[in-house]
Amino acid sequence: MPVAFLKSPPPVVAKRPLNEDDAVDIWMARWLRIRPKDLIRRYQCDPRRLYEIWAGDTFPESRARAQAKFRKKYPALLDRIDFGHHRRISCRPGPDQMSLFE
């Protein structure tokens, strides 16, 4: 099958640890609304690794690099993108989450 007809890039063949360049690409993919499922398949990683990047636990400086790269590459999308931090919402209801139902 020719590569031109693939709808998504082929998955990485071997597992490897994510690096900072991957983290920059993962941030940009988030802003482009690429599904986490597709990112997991592409990078062959545990879903928690994506959320560690988005929460800033690993590669915290990658977000600023990704934002600068995104601004240069996609200037027409800047007014449609929320560059805000990832918010974790727990599955367990707590007293702080009751405001979500208002």
State pLDDT tens for residues 13-33.
457 789 999 999 999 999 999
Which stretch of DSSP H or E encloses residue 61? none
| Cα distance between residue 42 and residue 13, in whole Å | 9
Domain residue ranges of the chain, discontinuous segments joined by +? 17-101
For residues 31 and 83, the answer to whether their CB atoms sit within 8 Å is yes
pTM of the model: 0.72
State pLDDT tens for residues 65-88.
999 999 999 999 998 888 877 777
Question: DSSP assignment, residue 94?
Answer: -
For residues 7 and 32, the answer to whether their CB atoms sit within 8 Å is no
